[in-house]
Structure 1
Amino acid sequence: MVNLLRLLWLIILLLDLFITKSMAAFVPTSRYYQGSVIIGNKMYFLGGIVNSGKGTNSLFYLDVSLPFNSANPKWTDLTSVAPIPVNSAFAPPCVGGSNKATIFLFEHHKTNNDNSTTIVTFTFDSTTQKWSTPTTTGAPQTREDMKAVIDKNGKIYINGGFEPYKTQKSYNSTFIFDSSSLSWTNGSNAPIIRSAYTATLLSNGLIVYIGGTNDDPSPEINMNLISIYNTNNGTWSLMNATGDPIMARQSYAAVLNKNGFIVIYGGAANNYTVAPNPALATLDTNSMPYKWSAKQFNSVYAPPPLAYHSAQLVGDYMIIAFGAGLLNAKFDLATAPNNNIFILDTSNYTWVSSINNVSTLIVNPSGPSNPNPTTSNSSDNNSSHITIPLIAGLGSAFIIIASIIGIVFWYRKRRLHYIATPGTNTRE
């Protein structure tokens, strides 16, 4: 009888440990050069360089249909059930497919141990939570550190980028991927070589390319020299923007707000040693030529200088995530890590701590409703994850399981009530 009681007590302790671990909220580690996209009400984050200096296969999301604050966002990790097929970074994702529920990820890796000479396309179906590697035709030479933009016809445009293996140079070539036929074609060359830039699709079918680097001795490109690709006829043009002076930069983030303003934040200059000014600015695409406007701010909710971060627009809110901070004249994840998000209200350009009026944040009301996976506390590597399914028992088995669970929660309540626990207060 004594041994049976000891065994029962051991089972209670093990279950208590499992429940405690399962109840712990998933918090992603600091990272930079991750990808991010929005499907429906979920903002997905893919891969990125982590503290080890390597890419990661992690996939997680933030449900923006629920109220959240920048200090404690409710993350949901999918890595245990849907890891990216390779450790990914510098790879642009894009949302497409017939129901706009598929993530296309354009990688420069075949596997974790094998680099590719051509762009590798991975797809993630957010309804089934499955990755696949479709067979494509005409895949161009591999690139990284570029952006992918999709038009209303399901064609994805990629310009320039950095060739990481042979030449280690940036380019101005244009690649067009038909997400329906899974085929690549070549477009015309852009007027300026770019990588680490931003690309923004306007409602009139124009893609606006700003900033970045072209690998010259003074690498950052003048922010007034804007390349514009017309998806309607496949032609390029070059515009000289006007307005406030905006310091050149690379590895920054941009979104398009509902008023037709491209909102930019952060970035780095002078070989990633300087935070460019102003940190926050807008480009009015309603005027001809486009016009820059610097935005000043002073808020406890504002982000620090950041580079390599990502941004998405949810309603009026620009949500900035991850990236590396500036410390001792260097943007470095090791010395200035960031696993936080920051929220900018683009209707008045003020930084806020939370979003509460979620009814206005429906990004794609006609899109699918994704399954709700179990929130896990997984790492960013290929580690093992424990999944215990719910087993519906009958008779005495059900009674025993229910009794043990009841004892566990009684034990936890008793322990918490009576026992005081001392507290402790680059490219690749």
Structure 2
Amino acid sequence: MIRMNINNIKIFFLLIILSIEIGQSVIPVERYSLSSVLIDKRIYFLGGESYHHSPKNSTTLDQILYLDISKPFNTLNPPFEILPNTIPFGSSYAIAFPSSQKNVIYLFGGITVNVNTDLDDFKSILHSYNLETNEWTIPTTSGIVPGRRKDISGVINNNTGKFYAFGGVSDQYTGTPNNSIILNDMNIFDINTLAWSIGSIINAPLPRVDYTATLLSNGIIVFIGGRETHAVRVVDINQLALYDTKADEWPSMTARNVTMENRFLHSAVLTPDERIIIFGGRQVPNDNPVLNQLAVLNTKTTPYEWSIPQVSAIGNMPLTTAAHSAILVENYMFINFGQITPFKNSQIQLPFFFILDIRNFTWVTQYEPEPSDNGKQIGIIIGAVGISVGVVTVVGFLGYKYYKKQRQGLYISRDRLRLCLTVTTT
């Protein structure tokens, strides 16, 4: 006969919940220049470069990681999962964006190599991945298809279904510096009609790479930083290139208020109140880190205004990082992977996870998703030899109440949980 005290019942049910809901997580290898996209309650991380721990012959990865953001977790042990279906090629320096149906991920541009031979065997500029069928395809498109390019950024307008990608460098993985061409064309892809078109080049900025692009609610795309012409000169961060998606025009603006370091390979997210938060990046020359790794651009003023926020929890602050992933989830800015600057072959940033609470600009280690009525779970039926139906009901109720508290450190490994489970047998 088995007896359980009330604490053991709680732990027992917590173990079952974690085993069912969290599943087997992975510790990913370090990477940078990856693509990321948020779809429903998952962040997908595609490809990237890993010089020291790539599992295949190429340093360019074909892996697809994801992170379930419907559950709480601690950044010291983030529950990364890996999809068994890989990208058909190694991918880096590309853009991932969702379809209007939210069941397809498009992958545009970047490096595309055979991960077994490290050779450039792929010619298409656009690929798609169906999350329901786990199939990769090359979409059949119309219009003027852009040439291959990398080191780009792009945005998707969810209202119109149009994707915008500006500039980039035209040489592929096997290209040489002398053959590379920095571009300044605006390519537009309609995900509803699968048609390509080209935006205006009148007053377009100089050719540019390694910048950020952010779409405002008024249809203006704000381009910040990067490198221009032959990729040796960093763009003045106060000189903002703007693209009006409604008028197909290129206005410009000089931001004011704070003088900051110019940068490239940084990241940017848009807050609900139309502020653009940038993080990290490098300087030229010598790839030195920027002093003010966090900065905020207020787009509700004319001209736009820069500010440097006062950041709390300095001990949890990441090192200045470049070529990382940044995505806004509710009130949290997720920053993943990347390179420590200045970049050295002997100093690769290991897999890492940092979260910035944008409400008070505090670096936090615990992620707590906002409650959702649609996502609530009403119970799990379990069975155990020697436990009556009445005990199971009590266990379910207590375990569910315990689970809802979402205490810090909820995400721990199954092995450690099993050590916590104590059963008294008579």
**One-letter amino acid of the counterpart of residue 102, structure 2:** K
**One-letter amino acid of the counterpart of residue 94, structure 1:** F
Are 1:233 and 2:247 matched, yes or no? yes
**Partner residue of 2:217?**
203
What is the TM-score when the length of structure 1 is the normalising length? 0.74
C-alpha deviations, 1:400-422, integer Å up to 9, x for none? xxxxxxxxxxxxx99xx9xxxxx
User: Structure 1 residue 269: deviation in Å?
Assistant: 0.6
Instruction: Return the match for 1:101 from 100, 103, 125.
Output: 103
C-alpha separation in 1, matches of 2:261 and 2:156: 28
Are 1:346 and 2:344 matched, yes or no? no
C-alpha separation in 2, matches of 1:110 and 1:351: 35
Are 1:182 and 2:194 matched, yes or no? yes
C-alpha separation in 2, matches of 1:36 and 1:24: 21
C-alpha separation in 1, matches of 2:307 and 2:87: 39
User: Structure 1 residue 174: deviation in Å?
Assistant: 0.9
User: Structure 1 residue 51: deviation in Å?
Assistant: 2.2
Residue pair 1:278, 1:296 contacting (<8 A) in 2 also: no
Instruction: Return the match for 1:305 from 314, 320, 328.
Output: 320
**Partner residue of 1:145?**
151
**Partner residue of 1:134?**
139
**Partner residue of 1:389?**
none
Residue pair 1:325, 1:338 contacting (<8 A) in 2 also: no
C-alpha separation in 2, matches of 1:339 and 1:110: 23
Instruction: Return the match for 2:235 from 204, 221, 234.
Output: 221
C-alpha separation in 1, matches of 2:124 and 2:95: 11
**Partner residue of 1:323?**
338
**One-letter amino acid of the counterpart of residue 167, structure 2:** G
Residue pair 1:107, 1:144 contacting (<8 A) in 2 also: yes
**Partner residue of 1:39?**
39
1:173 partner SS: strand
C-alpha separation in 1, matches of 2:231 and 2:64: 37
Point out the more displaced range, 125-134 or 256-265: 125-134
What is the TM-score when the length of structure 2 is the normalising length? 0.74
**Partner residue of 1:168?**
180
C-alpha separation in 2, matches of 1:278 and 1:174: 30
C-alpha deviations, 1:54-99, integer Å up to 9, x for none? 2110001111110011111111110x2x2111100011111123x2
Residue pair 2:182, 2:231 contacting (<8 A) in 1 also: no
Residue pair 2:318, 2:354 contacting (<8 A) in 1 also: yes
Are 1:265 and 2:279 matched, yes or no? yes
| Gap runs ≥5 in structure 1 | 1-22, 367-412, 418-428
User: Structure 1 residue 355: deviation in Å?
Assistant: 1.2
**One-letter amino acid of the counterpart of residue 155, structure 1:** K
C-alpha separation in 2, matches of 1:110 and 1:278: 34
**One-letter amino acid of the counterpart of residue 87, structure 1:** G
- Cα 1:63–1:24 shift into 2, 3 Å: closer
Are 1:284 and 2:298 matched, yes or no? yes
Residue pair 1:35, 1:93 contacting (<8 A) in 2 also: yes
- Cα 1:172–1:117 shift into 2, 3 Å: farther
User: Structure 1 residue 24: deviation in Å?
Assistant: 6.2
**Partner residue of 1:54?**
59
User: Structure 1 residue 180: deviation in Å?
Assistant: 2.1
- Cα 1:117–1:173 shift into 2, 3 Å: farther
Residue pair 1:227, 1:236 contacting (<8 A) in 2 also: yes
**One-letter amino acid of the counterpart of residue 140, structure 2:** T
C-alpha separation in 2, matches of 1:56 and 1:226: 33
C-alpha deviations, 1:18-53, integer Å up to 9, x for none? xxxxx8631111000000010001010000001247
Identity %: 34
2:25 partner SS: coil
C-alpha separation in 2, matches of 1:162 and 1:117: 17
Point out the more displaced range, 191-200 or 108-117: 108-117
Are 1:29 and 2:32 matched, yes or no? no
Residue pair 2:92, 2:110 contacting (<8 A) in 1 also: no
2:182 partner SS: coil
Residue pair 1:139, 1:184 contacting (<8 A) in 2 also: yes
User: Structure 1 residue 130: deviation in Å?
Assistant: 2.3
Residue pair 1:96, 1:150 contacting (<8 A) in 2 also: no
Residue pair 1:194, 1:214 contacting (<8 A) in 2 also: yes
Are 1:250 and 2:255 matched, yes or no? no
Point out the more displaced range, 100-109 or 340-349: 100-109
C-alpha separation in 2, matches of 1:217 and 1:148: 18
User: Structure 1 residue 101: deviation in Å?
Assistant: 2.6
**One-letter amino acid of the counterpart of residue 355, structure 1:** Y
RMSD value, Cα: 2.7
C-alpha separation in 2, matches of 1:43 and 1:218: 33
1:239 partner SS: strand
**Partner residue of 1:76?**
81
